Structure 1
Amino acid sequence: MNLITPAEHPFAQFVRILGKGKRGARSLTREEAREAMGLLLDGKAEDTQLGAFLMLLRHKEESAEELAGFTEAVRARLATPAIDVDLDWPSYAGKKRHLPWYLLAAKALAASGVRIFLHGGGAHTAGRLYCEQLLQPLGIPLCRDWSAVDAALQQHRLAYSHLGDWMPTLQRMIDLRNTLGLRSPIHSLARVLNPLGARCGLQSIFHPGYQAVHREASQLLGDHAIVIKGEGGEIEVNPDAVCHLYGTQDGQAWDEEWPALSAQRHVKPESLQPEQLLAFWRGEREEAYARLAVIATMALALRGLGLPREQAFAEAERRWSRRLQSN
């Protein structure tokens, strides 16, 4: 009979910190979060521990310190070359109420010279339209490695990369969504990563209260970022609602509130027809909601690059009107 007590798994401490009951549980410190994510990324945790960890975090709701620590662990394991990027543009939510007009905003900005790195986690939830499904018809390069990203940014100033190609362990965690029944905090984490160190990271967080947490996480990391509650969870300004910008730059937090652009709410389409994106891009179709959403989203990006609001909107109008000429 073996009477030796088995040693505790190194990752068990992090599950215990999060799950030790109402009185005993607490958030991870930034250092603990960095260590925990490091063990997960290095494959040094069991699957049962991963599932428990993600769902305990989901139930508790992740803190800014945890997001910052997780991000530091990811960045420490990314072997990224020096690539010049203006905007980091994460796209992980998918759209279900409106078409992804933000993709046209990104295309128009790229046509005017702004270098944009798009990244996402694939189609993980039924009933949504994802960025990856529209890359080919919209002419957005799909890049499978960093050299392809660099080449696409130099040639087109716009590149898309799948999370699974540069951080497959995180992609696996996102793919657990249908196994666990809930989205995990990895969906939030992916928005903070800014893997190429872009001048400004744009983030969209749909659930109220999380925007300030994400802003604080970027602040802890020393990043320049703007966080909004984007339409459907994507970086797209909803013209029918007030848009609050949660910004951070040079370690200082700032806030800005943009009024709704439409006096009445637009009726959402009965179905999403992706071919309408190209028709609108080419000027073959006009749509009031689409135009407001595209211009406001472009203005948001330009605000992130330093232009004040009024100038950003004027510049967005100018660049949109010249999008085909630029191409």
Structure 2
Amino acid sequence: MNFTPIIKEVGRGIRGARGLDAVAAKTAFAALLEGEVSDIQLGAWWLAMRIKGETPEELAAFVDAMHGTLAFRIKTDRPVAVLACYNGARQLPNLTPLLAWALAQLGMRVLLHGVTQDATRVTTHDLFAALNFPIAESAENTERALNERGMAFTPLDALHPKLAALISNRWRIGVRSTPHTVTKLLLPIDGPSVRVIALTHGDYIERMGAYISTQPDAKALVFRGCEGEPVLHPKRAVSVGIFENETSHMHDWPGVTVHDLPDNCEIATTVAYIESVIQGARPMPPWIDWLARHVHLLSYGTYSAKN
């Protein structure tokens, strides 16, 4: 593909850059997924999009291209919470596996997707493996885990190898960009679902909300996650956007003044903490319980602005 016209449109800086129309955006992202773009043009596009940001129209087209090349989809007749896990922890313990377990205890099915390793952080995949929670790399195994255990972590390498290869360029270029935003919208579910989407910056949250608000029948919670993972920060007040059928409203997690979290995010320490909650030796952290209840309410169509 001749990518030069694409870069000329998006690479004019934060004020001069223009958004691509839907056809051009979908074609461009498909070419990126297929590896049809040279390294130098990939790098130019990567940084240009990080500076410019995605328009709702571009984001919708990128998501369409992504979903068109999924390795497999999961069929379900029960609501599935879909958690995107691409950041990991480097300070506080990563309690995403505990949120998945809490949702499963409420009778939900929970599909988590993400990276399998990050040399600088503790990933959700690391913790699932250490906790002996189900990790599934095929449609059959994922559906079995959802039915039998209520949850499954499916690596992006298995779910969408082309997208996994694309976002891995982060390590060569040095920063994340549009592919990471698009990946958090991945929805490999045929059936009812709700996406739990955590981001790291306010402007990304606005863009994501603008996109989701245009999608009929979409359900999602969007918020600034704890180090980017799909859980709330215990001590920070967090505004959570609730999106349902092209409507939206905000709910605020107020934060807590004290908590009993360990002072590091090491795998063994985090696993011990999560297991102590599962075994009833300590209560469910209130920020995990709060988020689980809101996800459950939205999933089963009983949500309202009063909840």
Computing the radius of gyration from Cα coordinates, the structure with the larger value is 1
Unaligned regions of 5+ residues in structure 1, if any?
1-8, 313-327
Per-residue Cα deviation, 1:241-296 (whole angstroms, up to 9, x for no partner): 22212122212232222323x24577871453233222332233x37xx6123212
Point out which structure has higher relative CO (alpha carbons under 8 A, 6+ apart): 2
Match of 1:202 among 192, 196, 201: 196
Q: Is the 8 A contact 1:102 1:297 kept in 2?
A: no
For the aligned residues, what is the CA RMSD? 2.5
Aligned-partner SS, 2:108: coil
Q: What residue in structure 1 maps to residue 220 of structure 2?
A: 225
Shifted more, 35-44 versus 65-74: the winner is 35-44
Match of 1:275 among 271, 277, 287: 271
Sequence identity (%) = 24
* Alpha-carbon distance, 1:21 to partner: 5.3
Q: Is the 8 A contact 1:115 1:157 kept in 2?
A: yes
Corresponding letter in the other structure for 1:103: P
Unaligned regions of 5+ residues in structure 2, if any?
none
Q: How many residues align?
A: 299
Shifted more, 149-158 versus 104-113: the winner is 104-113
Corresponding letter in the other structure for 2:270: P
* Alpha-carbon distance, 1:228 to partner: 0.9
After superposing on structure 2, the runs of 4+ consecutive aligned residues of structure 1 that deviate more than 6 Å are 265-268, 309-312
Corresponding letter in the other structure for 2:107: G
Corresponding letter in the other structure for 1:64: P
Q: Is the 8 A contact 1:67 1:217 kept in 2?
A: yes
The answer to which structure has the higher helix fraction is 1
TM-score, scaled to structure 2: 0.87
Per-residue Cα deviation, 1:102-148 (whole angstroms, up to 9, x for no partner): 3112112213320111000232351x210111112323211111121
Say if 1:207 and 1:268 are closer, same or farther in 2 by CA, change over 3 A.
Answer: farther
Match of 2:5 among 9, 13, 21: 13
Q: What residue in structure 1 maps to residue 146 of structure 2?
A: 153
Distance in 2 between residues matched to 1:71 and 1:11, nearest whole Å: 19
Q: Is the 8 A contact 1:97 1:268 kept in 2?
A: no
Aligned-partner SS, 1:137: helix
Match of 2:83 among 85, 89, 98: 89
Q: In the TM superposition, what are the counterparts of 1:1-327 in structure 2 within 5 Å? A: 9-20=1-12, 24-78=16-70, 80-81=72-73, 83-84=75-76, 85-126=79-120, 128-197=121-190, 198-222=192-216, 223-260=218-255, 262-263=256-257, 269-270=263-264, 272=266, 273-276=269-272, 277-284=274-281, 286=282, 291-305=285-299, 306-308=301-303
* Alpha-carbon distance, 1:207 to partner: 0.8
Per-residue Cα deviation, 1:158-179 (whole angstroms, up to 9, x for no partner): 1111111122221122222221
Distance in 2 between residues matched to 1:102 and 1:166, nearest whole Å: 19
Distance in 2 between residues matched to 1:96 and 1:297, nearest whole Å: 22
